[in-house]
C-alpha cells in the first residue's frame, strides 16, 4: 500500500482528519510526528543537545523539559527554531522512513501525520501527500482556542510556518476543514476509496 503523508498548517485539523481516517481504515498504521517528538525530548542524548543549544531556561528544576518555554523561544526566533528542527527532525525522519518502507510491502495503509513535511523535504518519502486546509480566520480561531493565546501570538505562530497556499500548490490532495467533522469524514472516505482503486 502507498505511504500517505498528511500535513497542513498549525491548527488546520490534521489530527482530526487522521482520526477520520482511523475510523474508516482501523487496520492502517499511523505515525504521528508530534508524538514521536514528545518521546524524543525525554531521551538523555536529546536533552543534552537541547541543553547545549538552549541552556537551563527550558528545563524545570527536576530536569524535565518545559515544553511551553521551548515553544515560546522557537516561535519567536527563526534561528532557534532551526536549531530545534536540526536536533529532532533527522531522528523523526529516520523513524518514519523505515516504517514507511516496511509498510509499502504490506496490505495496510501507512499514514504519517507530519506537520513540517514540506519544510523538511519529507514529501520525497511519500507516495501521496494530503494537505488539510481551512480558511485563515478559522485557523486563527482554532489556534487561539486550542493554545489559550492572544491573537498577536497566534498570528506570529502561523506566519512562522510555510504559507498554507504553498503547501496546497504542492499537494496531491487537499481536504478542507471549514465546517462540520462529518464533511471532513466524507472527504476522508472519498480519498480512501480512491487510494484503494
pLDDT for 197: 59
CA angle (33 as vertex; 128, 80 as ends), nearest 5:
115
User: What does the block give as the cell for 117?
Assistant: 513535511
Report the alpha-carbon distance of residue 170 to residue 155 in Å, rounded.
23
Task: State percent of the chain over pLDDT 90.
Answer: 76
- Going by the DSSP 8-state scheme, the letter that residue 162 receives in this structure is P
Reading the block at residue 66, the C-alpha cell is 518545559
Q: Provide the H-helix boundaries in 13-150.
A: 14-24, 33-40, 44-54, 67-76, 78-104, 136-147
pLDDT digits (tens, 9 = 90+) for 103-146: 888 888 999 999 999 988 889 989 999 999 999 999 999 999 99
Taking the CB of residue 27, how many other CB atoms lie within 10 A of it? 10
Amino acid at each position: 500500500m502507498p505511504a500517505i503523508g498528511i500535513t497542513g498548517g498549525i491548527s488546520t485539523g490534521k489530527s482530526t482528519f487522521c482520526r477520520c481516517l482511523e475510523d474508516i481504515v482501523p487496520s492502517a498504521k499511523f505515525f504521528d510526528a508530534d508524538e514521536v517528538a514528545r518521546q524524543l525530548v525525554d531521551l538523555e542524548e536529546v536533552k543534552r543537545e537541547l541543553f547545549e543549544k538552549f541552556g537551563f531556561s527550558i528545563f524545570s528544576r527536576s530536569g524535565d523539559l518545559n515544553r511551553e518555554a521551548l515553544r515560546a523561544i522557537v516561535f519567536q526566533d527563526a534561528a532557534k527554531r532551526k536549531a530545534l528542527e536540526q536536533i529532532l527532525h533527522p531522528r523523526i525522519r529516520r523513524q518514519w522512513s523505515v516504517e514507511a518502507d516496511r509498510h509499502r510491502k504490506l496490505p495496510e495503509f501507512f499514514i504519517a501525520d507530519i506537520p513540517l513535511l514540506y519544510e523538511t523535504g519529507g514529501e520525497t518519502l511519500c507516495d501521496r501527500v494530503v494537505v488539510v486546509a481551512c480558511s485563515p480566520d478559522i485557523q486563527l480561531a482554532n489556534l487561539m482556542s486550542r493554545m489559550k493565546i492572544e491573537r498577536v501570538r497566534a498570528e506570529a505562530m502561523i506566519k512562522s510556518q510555510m504559507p498554507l497556499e504553498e503547501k496546497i500548490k504542492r499537494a496531491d490532495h487537499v481536504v478542507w476543514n471549514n465546517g462540520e467533522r462529518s464533511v471532513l469524514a466524507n472527504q476522508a472516505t472519498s480519498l480512501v476509496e480512491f487510494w484503494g482503486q
